[in-house]
Amino acid sequence: MDYYNHLLVNHWLSNVIDNKINNDILLFILRRKRNLKTNKKKEFEKNFNLDTSNYKLFDIDEIDSLYEIMNSDLNTNIILLGHDSMDIDKVVYTNCKILICPYYDFIDYNVNKKIVSNETIKNICDSASKPEIDFLERCKYYIESRDPFKIINIDNPLVIYQNIFSLLLQKFEFGEIIIFSHLEILQSNKITPFTLWKRFIEQDIYILIRCKILTSRLAIAIYKATTLKLNDSNKRIGLFYYKQFKIKAKTVQLPTVKPIQRVKAYDLRN
């Protein structure tokens, strides 16, 4: 995990210690291989010395979705214990912010022993203020609803790519992991193999920046990744963009692409 992620989580836990309620949910990601035969809740309580009256602990596999938690009026801090390749339906249409953290990396980053104590957390928070994360960087640390048009108007291809795929893939110290399963959920056309579609999206990002042509498949991927309305239909998403652009997607030949590709796209040059 990086330094900012480490600080964000420590400040979140510091609020728990101080009996303050965070405005986001903390999601610890355990590596599935180390977690097949363990009770995640018991392991957490063994490794974290926190007052259990100041938070509620949930195993993400034991809930249908975050609606189940958010609609229960708990009025307390919420910690979720998840794992790589979780079911994406857990966060569909959610309107809450979720702070992501690799579980074992966090423990190793804090101390050389197994228990993360109140003293350890407070010492870290006293020595460093909570970082302010830029809007464009938030996708590295949070799962949350964002404005798709802010992403469309970015001139940096890497940042656009990260804002699409960080919902599904995250890079931690132990490597890149798939956070949620069903990667094809971002696709406008599920028939296209995911690896091929992913190459198309990378190509479409450069065409958007260089030529101001937004392909429908890229528009749909950005919409779903940023709004978390992952089950919205292509028609519904098309209406969403029509209200903003005042134009419909039309079949165009993509410039600078060989072999020739004709796809539906929004021409944003005017």
Same domain for 118 and 182, yes or no, is no
For range 101-126, the mean pLDDT: 79
Q: Is the predicted pLDDT of residue 108 greater than 90, yes or no?
A: no
Mark which of 115, 143, 171 sits at the end of a domain: 143
Q: Which tokens hold the place of 241?
A: 């963009």
- Of the two residues 71 and 8, the one the predictor is more confident about is 8
Q: Which tokens hold the place of 54?
A: 């100041």
Query: For 2-38, what is each residue's pLDDT tens digit?
Result: 889 999 999 999 999 999 999 999 999 887 655 555 6
Same domain for 125 and 213, yes or no, is no
Mark which of 119, 143, 167 sits at the end of a domain: 143
For range 211-215, the mean pLDDT: 96
Same domain for 13 and 133, yes or no, is yes
Q: What is the pTM of this model?
A: 0.90
Mark which of 117, 143, 169 sits at the end of a domain: 143
Same domain for 10 and 128, yes or no, is yes
Q: Which among 28, 90, 86 is positioned nearest to 64, based on CA atoms?
A: 90
Cβ-proximal residues to 32 (8 Å cutoff; 6+ apart), any chain: 83, 84, 85
Same domain for 71 and 123, yes or no, is yes
Beta strands across the sheet bearing 24-30: 55-59, 77-83, 24-30, 97-102, 142-143
Same domain for 16 and 129, yes or no, is yes
- Cα dist. 48→34, 78, 193 in Å? 18, 15, 42
Q: Is the predicted pLDDT of residue 104 greater than 90, yes or no?
A: no
Same domain for 130 and 198, yes or no, is no
Query: For 240-252, what is each residue's pLDDT tens digit?
Result: 999 999 999 999 9
Same domain for 105 and 212, yes or no, is no
3-state secondary structure of 212: coil
- Of the two residues 93 and 264, the one the predictor is more confident about is 264
Same domain for 255 and 180, yes or no, is yes
- What's the confidence (pLDDT) of residue 107? 81
Counted domains in the chain: 2
- Of the two residues 241 and 121, the one the predictor is more confident about is 241
264-267 CB contacts, 8 Å cutoff, 24+ apart:
264/215, 264/216, 265/213, 265/214, 265/215, 265/216, 266/213, 266/214, 266/216, 266/219, 266/241, 267/212, 267/213
Q: Which tokens hold the place of 168?
A: 């599904």
112-119 CB contacts, 8 Å cutoff, 24+ apart:
114/46, 114/47, 115/46, 115/47, 115/48, 115/49, 116/13, 116/47, 116/48, 116/49, 117/49, 118/17, 118/49, 118/50
Q: Is the predicted pLDDT of residue 269 greater than 60, yes or no?
A: yes
Domain that holds residue 170: 150-267
